[in-house]
Amino acid sequence: MKSCLGLLAIELHLENCHSLKDRRRILNSLKERIRQRFNVSVAEADFGEKWQRGGLLFSCAGDHPASVEDTLRNVASFVENDPRVLLSSPELRFYE
């Protein structure tokens, strides 16, 4: 059986964050909404103590690379349309 794994890594700028608590609230909300809507795995990348920066990693697996790519591009578009964050450098990778 052939399968494909897609990984989307994004960096975010959270302009209106003034504390780590603000950052955590926004990122947790965004992660939960994406999990529910797209059924992908989400992990937070490490930006340490930086209030206005964050990173998220999304993974998706499927039988067809086109469907995996479509799902991850929709995730990137969803994040891009969130007014609380600015998407800075999305990186999409595939593993077959």
Residue 79 has pLDDT above 90, yes or no: yes
pLDDT digits (tens, 9 = 90+) for 28-69: 999 999 999 999 999 998 777 788 899 999 999 999 889 999
The answer, as to whether pTM is greater than 0.75, is: yes
Neighbours of 21 (CB within 10 A): 10
Domain range holding 16? Answer: 4-91
Q: What is the CATH number of the domain that holds 71?
A: 3.30.70.1120
Domains contained in the chain, number: 1
Residue 91 pLDDT: 94
Residue 1 pLDDT: 65
Q: Examine residue 96 and state whether it is found in any structural domain, yes or no.
A: no
Contacts of 51 (CB under 8 A, 6+ apart): 14, 17, 18, 19, 20, 22, 23
Average pLDDT over residues 12-31: 91
